[in-house]
Structures are given as structure tokens and as C-alpha cells.
Amino acid sequence: MSPRERTAWIAVVCTIVIWSHYFGTFWLDVAARHLNGGQILTRFIVCMVIMAVVMIGLNLATGVMTRKNMQAPPDEMERQIEGRADRIGFRVLEWLIPVALIAGLLNTGAIAAAFPADPAGSTALIFTNGILMVIVLTELVRELVHIVSFRMAA
Amino acid sequence: MAVPPPITNTIRRLRFDANEMTQQELADRIGMTRQTIAAIEQNKYSPSLEAAFRIAEVFGVELGEVFRWKAGGRPG
């Protein structure tokens, strides 16, 4: 397994575990009609820090264990795979952003009605997290394209 | 990479003739990863012209001795 494929596996596993927890908790809060901006921000920062620490730690550990130079520039096949992943990721983003925005705009009335204490703040939180979820999904797709491409060439 | 390119190569035999050169050794000499060499050898990836010339240079042979076009091959 090449260092870049290993990095993609680490990113996919970390993304699924950490961001599933974050978004799962967020949407459960939405369903329970209980949104606390401060708590959500704290949870977001904690998830970001854990993601960064775990990814850097695992990449360093596997790099040391396999004695592979992680700083080596990508070769032409890796650049081609990277390019394909970027193209597919961009297409996914191009479709999901409008879908998320339109879904949000069509439901602003329902969101405001569900959170009478702070309709504007709750709407902003839901929109922000919807867009954030789209970005995370796009990154997940990109890394999955890396893995599939590397497996097809193996 | 989905459709195999209509190209065959003799890298495996050339490595054998070059004192059983490993894929990693060949990769190091042309600045690629072992995985990319394996993909080229199995005809799962078509290298650039520059990489093809570099591979031929390592074995000291002409490009046509490393890569051959399959007659009647259609564009993938």
C-alpha cells in the first residue's frame, strides 16, 4: 500500500468516526428542538482538534513504521488519481451545495417555527452545519475515489 | 485505468534479465513509487512518454523493446 493510499484510508476512517459523531449529535439536537450555539461551537472545535491530532499522529506513526518518506512528491500516477478525485469532488460539491441551500431555504419557515426562542440563530446554525456537512461529504468522496483508484491499479 | 490500454510491455522480463531488479529499485531509479511500477507492469496504467523513456534508459534498450502497441487496439 502506497503512503498516499494509507493517508486516504486514515482520512476516511477518521472522517467517518469523528464527523459522524459531530453531525449525529447536531441533528439529534435539532430533532430534540434544543440548539445551543456555544455547545455546538465547542463540540466543533473539539472534533477539529481531535481530527487533526489523530490524522497527524497516525500518518507519522505509519510513516515511521513503514520507513516511507511521506514528503516525497507524488509521481505521475498519483497525480492522475489526485486529479480524478478533485474533479469528482468538485462535481459532488457543485451538486450538493445548491441542494443543501435550496432545502434550507424551503424550510426556513419550519425551522423558525420549531425554534421560537431564537429563530434566526437556529436557522443560521442549521444552514452553517448543512454546508459544513456537504464539505465533509465531499472530502469523504475525494478520499474514497483515491482508495478505489489505488485499489484498481494494485 | 478502467479499460486496459492496447499496449503490452516486457518490464518483468527486462527486470529479470537485469539481475532480478526489484520493482522498488526500478521505481527509485526513475522517481516513481513501487505501486506505479507494478501498475505499469500489469498494464493497469499507461506511463507518460517521459516515464517510458526513463524505463527504457534504465534497461539500456530502445523504447520499442519495452512497450509494444497491440495491433488493432482501439482508443479507450
Burial of A150 (0-12, 13-18, 19+ CB in 10 A): buried
For residue B57, give the 3-state DSSP assignment.
helix
Interface test with B, best of A7, A77, A88, A148 (most B CBs within 10 A): A77
**Is 90 exceeded by the pLDDT of residue A82?**
yes
Structural domain for B54, as ranges: 7-60
Q: Answer yes or no: is B65 within a domain.
A: no
Structural domain for A133, as ranges: 3-153
CA angle A63, A3, B1 (to 5 degrees): 175
Distance between CA atoms of residues B5 and A154, nearest Å: 16
Q: What is the pLDDT of residue A70?
A: 64
Total domains, chain B: 1
Q: Answer yes or no: is B76 within a domain.
A: no
Contact status of B32 with chain A (Cβ, < 8 Å): yes
Contact B45/A77, CB-based, under 8 Å?
yes
Give the pLDDT band of residue A73 (cuts 50, 70, 90): confident
**Is 90 exceeded by the pLDDT of residue A80?**
yes
Lowest-confidence pick of A54-58, A63-67, A87-91, B30-34 = A63-67
Q: What is the pLDDT of residue B10?
A: 95
Total domains, chain A: 1
Q: Answer yes or no: is B67 within a domain.
A: no
Q: Answer yes or no: is B23 within a domain.
A: yes
Q: Do the Cβ atoms of B41 and B11 come closer than 8 Å?
A: yes
**C-alpha R_g of chain B:** 12
Contact B33/A150, CB-based, under 8 Å?
no
The CATH number linked to B44 is: 1.10.260.40
Q: Answer yes or no: is B48 within a domain.
A: yes
Q: Answer yes or no: is B71 within a domain.
A: no
